[in-house]
Amino acid sequence: MSSTLVDRLRAGLPDGAVVTDPAITASYANDMASFCPAEPPAVVVLPRTAEEVQHVMRTATELRVPVVPQGARSGLSGAANTSADCIALSLVKMDRILEVNPVDRIAVVEPGVINADLSKAVLAEGLFYPPDPSSWEMCTIGGNIGTASGGLCCVKYGVTAEYVLGLEVVLADGRLMSTGRRTAKGVAGYDLTRLFVGSEGSLGIVVKAVLALRPAPPPQLVLAAEFDSVRAAGAAVCEIMSGGHVPSMLELMDRTTVRAVNSFAQMGLPESTEALLIAAFDTADPAADLAAVGALCEAGGASQVVPAEDQAESELLLQARRLSLTALEQVKGTTMIDDVCVPRSRLGDLMEGVEAIAGKHALTIGVVAHAGDGNTHPTVCFDAADPEESRRARESFDEIMALGLELGGTITGEHGVGVLKKEWLARELGPVGLEMQRAVKQAFDPLNLLNPGKLF
C-alpha cells in the first residue's frame, strides 16, 4: 500500500512536499505529551495550498488511509501523535498572514502561522490577538484552533474559541467548506465554526481562518502577593473576582513551582512562601487597580504584597511565571502536566487535594494555575526511568482528574483530550453526551480517517 500511497500523493504535490525518509518522518511522530503511544507515520506531507490539502484528503479517502493533522506539535495531550499506517499532514508551510484589517478588526491567516508572529503583526497595527498559550512563540494558529487553546490572558479576554469568526475547512473527502463569517456578528445556520474549534483535527482540516482582533490595551502592571497556604491564596482569588475586579492576568504558583523556577533561572522569588499570586491589570489606571487588589490580598492574610514599580519589574514576574513548566521539567527529568479546571470557588479545595495526593504517593507535584479562571496545571515531576515512580505518577494524575470532576470541574481547561484523556472524556460526558459526540464525528468523517483514536 505504502508505495501506491506515496505515488498518489506525489502526483498532486510539489517536490519536497512528500517525505518518506525514516530519519525525518520519525520526528513527526509525537507532540509534547508524556505517556501517549506514537509510531513514525508512513509518510509526512507538507502542503502549501488548500488545493494540495484537498489532494491529500482525496487520496486518503480513496485509499482509506488515516490522516493526522499537525501544527507545531507543542500540544500536551498526544492529539498530534501518529501511527505507522497514517499520513502526517503538517500544516506548518501554510504560514501566510493574508490580511490584517484594523477597521473590521480581523486577521485572515493560514493555519501554520505562529501565534507570536500573528501577535506581532497585528500589534504593529495597534491591534491585539489575545489567546496566548505558554507555547505562543512556537505554536501555530491551526494548532490553537484544533485544541481551543487558552493562555494567561484568558481571564480577561477569553480563549481561542472567542476569536475564531470563520474557517475554510477541507473535509475528509477532500471537499472545501466555508463556515462562519468575517463580520462581527452572524447567526446563519448552525455554528460549525465553533464546532471545529477544539475538535483536534478530527472533523476536517482548517486551511484558513478569519480571526477577531481587539484594540491593543495599555501595558499591564503586575503585582505579586505571598501567602502562607494555597487555600488562603485561593480565597484571595475569589475575593478579587467577586469584588468586581477585571485583572488581565491572575496566576498562581505554589511553593514547588516557585523553588523550581528559582533553581532553574535564579529569579530570586520568595522561597519561604506557600503560594505566590501574580495579578496584572492593563486598565487606564493599573496602579489604582493593583492597590485595591493588594489591599484585598493583605486582608486575606498575604504576608507580602509587592507591586511592580515599572514595566521591567512587571516583565520579570511574568517571565518567572512563563518559565514554570520548563523549570518543573528539570526537577526529575519528566513531567505529566494536568489541566484540571474547577469553578474558581473550589480552587482552594483542588489545590489542597493535590497536596494530599502528592503526599499519599510520595511525589513532587508542582501546581501552576490560571487562578482567575480556576484552571490549574498540577504537574507531576518524576523519573521516567523508574517504573515504580512512573506508575505512581500516572495514578496521581488520574486521581487529580477525579478530584476535578468531583469538585464540579472539567478534566481539561485548555490542553484538550487527545489520547491522554480519552477514558476521562467518557467519564466527564456520560453515555448520552459521548454518543452524540460520536454522531457528530460520524456526520463529518464517516470513514473515520481524520485523527482516528483521538478524543474517543
CA dihedral 193, 195, 201, 205 (to 10 degrees): -30
C-beta atoms surrounding 4 within 10 Å:
12
Q: What is the 3-state secondary structure (H, E, C) of 321-333?
A: HHCHHHHHHHHHC
8 binds its own copies, rule: CB under 8 A: no
State the nearest-atom distance from the C-beta of 52 to its own copies, in Å: 18
**Cβ-defined contacts of 298-302 (< 8 Å, 24+):** 299/239, 300/227, 300/232, 300/235, 300/236, 300/239, 301/227, 301/228, 301/232, 301/236, 302/225, 302/226, 302/227, 302/232, 302/236, 302/277
**For its own copies, the closer CB: 102 or 359:** 102
Return the bridge partners of 127, or none: 215
CA pair distance 32, 75, nearest whole angstrom: 6
Nearest to 137 by CA among 156, 150, 120: 120
Among residues 3, 21, 23, 185, the one that binds its own copies under rule CB under 8 A = 185
State the nearest-atom distance from the C-beta of 160 to its own copies, in Å: 9
CA pair distance 97, 99, nearest whole angstrom: 6
Q: Give the contacts of 224 (CB within 8 A, at least 6 positions apart).
A: 276, 277, 278, 304, 305, 306, 308, 317
Binding mask 225-244 for its own copies (x = CB under 8 A): -------------x--xx-x
Among residues 158, 270, 301, 453, the one that binds its own copies under rule CB under 8 A = 158
State the nearest-atom distance from the C-beta of 181 to its own copies, in Å: 5
Q: Which stretch binds its own copies (CB under 8 A): 16-24, 267-275, 377-385, 442-450?
A: 442-450
State the nearest-atom distance from the C-beta of 247 to its own copies, in Å: 11
Among residues 2, 4, 27, 183, the one that binds its own copies under rule CB under 8 A = 183
Q: Which stretch binds its own copies (CB under 8 A): 14-22, 194-202, 222-230, 296-304?
A: 194-202
Supply the Cα-derived Rg of the chain in whole angstroms.
22
**For its own copies, the closer CB: 235 or 306:** 235
406 binds its own copies, rule: CB under 8 A: no
440 binds its own copies, rule: CB under 8 A: yes
Residue with cell 473535509: 171
Among residues 45, 203, 205, 221, the one that binds its own copies under rule CB under 8 A = 203
Q: Which of residues 75-94 bind its own copies (CB under 8 A)?
A: none
Q: Which of residues 337-396 bind its own copies (CB under 8 A)?
A: 341-345, 370, 372-375
**For its own copies, the closer CB: 42 or 337:** 337
Q: State the Cα angle at 299 between 293 and 301, rounded to 5°.
A: 110
219 binds its own copies, rule: CB under 8 A: no
State the nearest-atom distance from the C-beta of 148 to its own copies, in Å: 4
Q: Give every strand in the sheet of 87-90, ordered side by side.
A: 18-19, 43-45, 87-90, 67-70
Among residues 30, 34, 74, 283, the one that binds its own copies under rule CB under 8 A = 283
**For its own copies, the closer CB: 17 or 100:** 100
Q: Which of residues 101-130 bind its own copies (CB under 8 A)?
A: 101-106, 126
Q: Give every strand in the sheet of 304-307, ordered side by side.
A: 304-307, 221-227, 275-281, 249-254, 364-370, 375-382, 334-337
Q: 127-128 and 214-215 as β-strands: parallel, antiparallel, unpaired?
A: antiparallel
**For its own copies, the closer CB: 19 or 159:** 159
Q: Which stretch binds its own copies (CB under 8 A): 35-43, 151-159, 298-306, 391-399?
A: 151-159
Among residues 215, 268, 333, 359, the one that binds its own copies under rule CB under 8 A = 215
